[in-house]
């Protein structure tokens, strides 16, 4: 029996799969080891596995945002080893989860566009090269966090059209003090910023919203895709809530750059289940 985990900054998805391919799936809180103490991460994991009989789990395949470094991989593995000492623990990045889910053992360019964003070139086994990631403060173009930052910027500077400012105010009733406190004084600022991106899907027929999303996606292609794939050698695949929610506009943007998008997934978990079929 295996446990597959896809952990983003905002939420995590967990699936226990047995030899007969029966499964139990649930949604939990997300976390990023770059921004959360190991003690708090342990509390999150304990809460998520409270209904799992750990001795039945042979292997945990944990894919997480922030787990591209050995330090963070070891941090997550240490927690699982303490909680499940008889279980094999495999920790990989959320980027590798996207590669496995989108392309399996085929080559391609895997892109993440959820709370955060990133991209890499995958050769069917390993990540050959990965885009420079500057995190939610300096980077994450195309992500929910990035879209949320632009929305708040335009709302408070009164760049957002008046009719939408009124709708935004009624929807969130957010003040400048709220933003300063949540972004500069609390943990999980990226999750907070990304929470405002739902406003875009709720008002997607508005020209301002369409332009904002389109410009954000163009920035993703300029800073991520073209930097790694300027010769258009690799087809693209996307994982993440933003990519899934705005799939049509994303495909349109990709087409304007002469790229082909072969797959868009809201979550990698279902495809990861297929990837690991046959090993349990």
Domain annotation for the chain: domains and CATH numbers: 2-98+269-275 (3.30.420.40)
Nearest Cα neighbor of 198 from 151, 158, 137 is 151
Give tens-digit pLDDT for 232-248.
999 999 999 999 999 99
Q: What is the pLDDT of residues 128-186, one digit of tens each?
A: 999 988 877 888 899 999 999 999 999 999 999 999 999 999 999 899 999 999 989 88
210-236: average pLDDT: 94
Pairs from 210-213 (Cβ < 8 Å, separation ≥ 24) = 210/249, 212/147, 212/150, 212/151, 212/154, 213/147, 213/246, 213/249
φ, ψ for residue 90 (rounded to 5)? -120, 120
Q: In terms of residues, how long is the chain? A: 280
Confidence (pLDDT) at 21: 63
pLDDT single digits (tens) 3-29: 889 888 778 888 887 776 667 878 888
On whether the CB atoms of residues 66 and 72 are closer than 8 A, the answer is yes
Report the pLDDT value the prediction gives residue 20, as an integer from 0 to 100: 63
User: Which value, to the nearest 10 degrees, does the dihedral of the CA atoms of residues 144, 202, 12, 182 take?
Assistant: 60
Sheet of 236-239: strand order equals 127-130, 117-122, 108-113, 236-239, 261-265
Q: Is 236 exposed, middle or buried (0-12, 13-18, 19+ CB in 10 A)?
A: buried
- Cα 218 to the chain's mean position, in Å? 18
The tokens for 87 are: 């279980």
- Residues in contact with 120: Cβ distance below 8 Å, sequence separation at least 6, in sequence order: 95, 98, 99, 109, 110, 127, 128, 129, 130, 131, 228
The residue-averaged pLDDT of 38-52 equals: 82
Residue 270 has pLDDT above 60, yes or no: yes
Residue 98: name the closest of 229, 220, 224, 8 by CA.
Answer: 8
Q: Are 127 and 137 in contact (CB under 8 A)?
A: no
Report the sign of the C-alpha dihedral through residues 266, 268, 269, 271, in that order. Answer: positive
Tokens of 136: 């939610």
Residue 63, token pair as written in the block:
């894919």
pLDDT at 30: 83
Pairwise CA distance, residues 38 & 221, whole Å:
34
Report which of 32, 26, 33 is spatially closest to residue 3, judged by C-alpha positions: 26
d(CA 46, CA 32): 16
User: For 65-115, how does the pLDDT look when each residue is reduced to its tens digit (9 = 90+)?
Assistant: 888 888 999 989 998 898 888 889 999 998 999 999 999 989 999 999 998
- Cα angle 115, 191, 218 (rounded to 5 degrees) comes to 35
Return the bridge partners of 226, or none: none
């Amino acid at each position: 029996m295996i446990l597959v985990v896809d952990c983003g900054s905002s939420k995590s998805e967990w699936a226990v799969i047995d030899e007969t391919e029966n499964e139990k799936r649930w949604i939990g809180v997300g976390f990023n080891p770059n921004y959360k103490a190991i003690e708090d991460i342990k509390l999150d994991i304990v809460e998520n596995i409270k209904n799992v009989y750990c001795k039945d789990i042979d292997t945990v395949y944990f894919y997480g945002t922030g787990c591209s470094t050995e330090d963070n991989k070891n941090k997550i593995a240490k927690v699982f080893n303490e909680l499940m000492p008889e279980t094999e623990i495999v920790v990989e990045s959320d980027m590798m989860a996207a590669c496995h889910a989108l392309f399996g053992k085929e080559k391609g360019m895997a892109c993440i566009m959820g709370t955060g964003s990133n991209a890499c070139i995958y050769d069917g086994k390993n990540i050959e090269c990965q885009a420079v990631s500057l995190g939610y403060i300096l980077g994450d173009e195309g992500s929910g966090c990035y879209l949320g930052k632009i929305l708040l910027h335009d709302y408070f500077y009164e760049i957002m059209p008046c009719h939408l400012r009124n709708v935004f105010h009624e929807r969130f009733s957010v003040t400048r003090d709220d933003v300063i406190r949540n972004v500069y004084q609390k943990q999980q600022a990226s999750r907070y910023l990304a929470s405002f991106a739902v406003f875009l899907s709720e008002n997607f027929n508005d020209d301002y919203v369409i332009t904002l999303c389109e410009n954000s996606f163009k920035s993703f292609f300029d800073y991520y895709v073209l930097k790694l794939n300027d010769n258009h050698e690799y087809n693209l695949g996307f994982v993440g809530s933003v990519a899934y929610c705005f799939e049509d506009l994303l495909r349109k943007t990709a087409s304007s750059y002469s790229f082909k998008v072969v797959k868009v997934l809201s979550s990698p978990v279902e495809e990861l289940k297929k990837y690991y079929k046959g090993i349990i």
